[in-house]
């Protein structure tokens, strides 16, 4: 199975940069996802990493180090609308009879204040 | 285009009653997933469908939970004899093919279930 750890809550100022970390232990590795979830809404896809390095997409970037079992989501030029929960999900080698369904962390609640 | 839809959006029921939750995936998506999200918890995987079959139902918490999918489209999640600990948001997601690709899962808005 997989074990995923991310901070429960973070606060940041509008216009600043924030880094949300995710560490994981998995018996195999087949990709890591980041999702954004606003309160009362469905999670929406942000990024996917399967190889080491940085993936940049506009104001959001995601980094992966497979050897360290570590990823981070970097949000630049923070806006008030970025206040949301950010979910890290890891797809590992499934247990016998299982499938490649990602396992989600508990999410990091980001509060952006003026 | 139309996304994943779920109904009802909210459901309040009494302990011991049965409930049925519905998911309409994006048209053409063959993979469908059910998750549960409790307050302050991550998404908990329940069951995965590929077409009408369920290759992985390892996350169903008890035999009170069951799900089916018909016509490779609509899915229903049934909870029998509901308990208060079943209170949660039940999320459905779909993806074009299988979980072993980099394609993302598209989530529905969820059904908020409250068991009194």
Interchain CB distance below 8 Å, B45 and A31: no
Say what the pLDDT of residue B100 is.
64
Q: How confident is the model at residue B101 (pLDDT cuts 50, 70, 90)?
A: low
Residues 6+ apart with CB under 8 A from B63: none
Residue to substitute from A22, A101, A107, A109, interface B, most B β-carbons within 10 A = A101
Position B2 pLDDT exceeds 70: yes
Q: How far is A80 from chain B (nearest CA, A)?
A: 22
Q: Which chain A positions have a beta carbon within 8 Å of B55's beta carbon?
A: 99
Say what the pLDDT of residue B79 is.
97
Burial of residue B98 (CB within 10 Å: 0-12, 13-18, 19+) is: middle
Residues 6+ apart with CB under 8 A from B91: A42, A43, B6, B34, B35, B36, B37, B43, B107, B108, B110
Q: Is B28 on the interface with A (CB under 8 A)?
A: no
Position B11 pLDDT exceeds 60: yes
Say what the pLDDT of residue A36 is.
96
Condensed to tens digits (0 to 9), the pLDDT of residues B51-62 reads: 999 988 889 999
If you ran DSSP here, which 8-state letter would residue A8 be given? S
Q: Show the low-confidence residues of chain A (pLDDT under 50).
A: none
Q: What is the mean pLDDT of chain B?
A: 91
Condensed to tens digits (0 to 9), the pLDDT of residues B12-26 reads: 999 999 999 999 999
| Residues from A in contact with B at Cβ < 8 Å | 4, 30-31, 33, 41-45, 48, 50, 87, 89, 91, 94-95, 97-107
Say what the pLDDT of residue A3 is.
86
Q: Between residues 54 and 73 of chain B, which touch chain A (CB distance below 8 Å)?
A: 55-56, 58
Q: How confident is the model at residue B39 (pLDDT cuts 50, 70, 90)?
A: confident
DSSP string across A37-98 = E-TTS--EEEEEE-SSEEEEETTEEEEEETTTTEEEEEE-S--GGG-EEEEEEE--PPPTT-
Say what the pLDDT of residue A1 is.
60
Position B88 pLDDT exceeds 60: yes
Among residues B103, B95, B1, B87, which one has the least CA distance to residue B40? B87
């Amino acid at each position: 199975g997989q074990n995923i750890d991310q901070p429960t809550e973070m606060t940041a100022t509008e216009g600043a940069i924030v880094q949300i970390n995710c560490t994981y232990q998995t018996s195999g590795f087949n990709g890591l996802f980041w999702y954004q979830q606003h309160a009362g809404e469905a999670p929406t896809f942000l990024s996917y990493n399967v190889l080491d390095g940085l993936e940049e997409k506009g104001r959001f970037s995601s980094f992966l180090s497979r050897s360290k079992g570590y990823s981070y989501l970097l949000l630049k030029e923070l806006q008030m609308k970025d206040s949301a929960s950010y979910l890290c999900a890891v797809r590992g080698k499934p247990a016998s009879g299982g499938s490649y369904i990602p396992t989600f962390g508990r999410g990091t609640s980001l509060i952006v204040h003026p | 285009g139309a996304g994943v839809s779920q109904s009802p959006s909210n459901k309040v029921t009494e302990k011991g009653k049965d409930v049925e939750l519905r998911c309409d995936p994006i048209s053409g998506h063959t993979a469908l997933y059910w998750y549960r999200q409790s307050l302050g918890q991550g998404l908990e995987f329940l069951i995965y469908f590929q077409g009408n079959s369920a290759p992985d139902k390892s996350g169903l918490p008890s035999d009170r939970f069951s799900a089916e999918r018909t016509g490779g489209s609509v899915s229903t999640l049934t909870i029998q004899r509901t308990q208060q600990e079943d209170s949660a948001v039940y999320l459905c997601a779909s993806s074009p093919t299988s979980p072993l690709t980099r394609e993302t899962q598209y989530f529905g808005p969820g059904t908020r279930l409250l068991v009194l």
